[in-house]
Amino acid sequence: MTDPIVRISGLRKRFGDNEVLRGIDLEIAEGEVVCLIGPSGSGKSTLLRCVNLLEEPTEGAITAAGHDMTGPDADLDLARRDIGMVFQHFNLFSHMTILDNLVVPQQRVCKLPKAEAVAEARRLLAQVGIEGKERAKPAQLSGGQQQRVAIARALAVKPRLMLFDEPTSALDPEIVGEVLAVMKGLAAEGMTMLVVTHEMAFAREVADRVLFLDGGVIVEQGPPAEVLTDPKTERARTFLHRVLHPAD
């Protein structure tokens, strides 16, 4: 096998006295789809945000998409181009039109001429099923549409790896599907994806591997069929039971 696209070793993250990550080791292969599940406060979002160094690790080493993220000579701006990120609250640039949300990053980051950037933006918007909204502002779109635009924007700078931080948690249940569908399409194209999610059905269907985090450590991992159906640890069993049968 080739080198892993993400390699995390001995990762620890403290916020003041609160140690959120207590020693994470993780390798992700190119093209792999990995879902991070676990109770809130388990550190899954922090782990994700450490990969592109939106959070600075307290300890440990991270390489991602061929960049030594934690090294002394790390060029994070260059590295982050190769690591797309999708946020729970979309974070589209609220003062720009939908089209500009995709065009401006290409112009500024990839130094593409405007015409090329616009053509690529249109192609990506079509890919995520957004039509006729080019001149609209983000606030005029539904949550599901905004999140699909956010995915397209992340793809606009040609990342090799995509991070998803609870991409459907802020959405109404009936529009979760449209975002998950776009993500499925992306996975099918071979994109490497690290996804923090509560959508167990998505994890089961799309993930190559599921990681269960609790208390800042990876408690259990494996193919979704194993981890989600027949967890080995008591903690994972309890968590999955609560998620899958909330009314019990």
Of 20, 24, 36, 104, the one binding other proteins by CB under 8 A: 104
Which residue from 38, 43, 57, 105 is in contact with other proteins, where contact means CB under 8 A? 105
Rounded alpha-carbon distances, angstroms, from residue 165 to 90, 97, 99: 10, 23, 23
- Given 61, 109, 175, 243, the residue binding other proteins (CB under 8 A): 109
- Of the candidates 76, 74, 77, 64, the residue with the CA atom closest to the CA atom of residue 194: 64
CB of 74 to other proteins, least distance (A): 13
Other beta carbons within 10 Å of 227: 25
94 binds other proteins (CB under 8 A): yes
Is residue 170 at the binding interface for other proteins, with CB under 8 A as the rule? no
Which CB, 156 or 194, lies closer to other proteins? 156
Q: In Å, what is the CA distance from 197 to each residue of 99, 129, 153, 164, 169?
A: 28, 22, 20, 8, 8
* Residue 168 or 227 having the CB closest to other proteins: 168
Name the residue among 134, 117, 114 with its Cα closest to residue 125. 134
- Sign of the alpha-carbon torsion through 236, 241, 246, 248: negative
Q: Are 220 and 242 in contact (CB under 8 A)?
A: no
Q: Which two tokens stand for residue 6?
A: 């993400």
Site for other proteins contains 6 (CB under 8 A) = no
Segment interacting with other proteins, rule: CB under 8 A, options 6-14, 35-43, 89-97, 228-236: 89-97
Residue 181, exposed/middle/buried by CB under 10 A (0-12, 13-18, 19+)?
Answer: middle
When binding is defined by CB under 8 A, the residue of 11, 20, 26, 157 that contacts other proteins is 157
Residue 111 binds other proteins, judged by CB under 8 A: no
Pick the stretch among 61-69, 103-111, 203-211, 236-244 that binds other proteins (CB under 8 A): 103-111
- Please, are residues 158 and 121 in contact by the beta-carbon 8 Å criterion? no
**Contact (CB, 8 A) for 85 and 65:** no
Interface pick for other proteins out of 10, 15, 25, 78 (rule CB under 8 A): 78
DSSP SS3 for 41:
coil
Does 135 bind other proteins (CB under 8 A)? Our answer is no
The one among 7, 89, 160, 198 contacting other proteins by CB under 8 A: 89
Report residue 195 as tokens: 């996804």
For residues 21 and 162, which CB has a smaller minimum distance to other proteins in the complex? Answer: 162
Which string of x and - marks every residue 54-73 that binds other proteins (by CB under 8 A)? x-------------------
Of the candidate residues 44, 80, 148, 209, the single one contacting other proteins (CB under 8 A): 80
Residue type, 177: G
What residue ranges bind other proteins (CB under 8 A)? 52, 54, 76-81, 83-85, 87, 89, 91-95, 104-105, 108-109, 137, 139, 150, 153-154, 156-157, 163
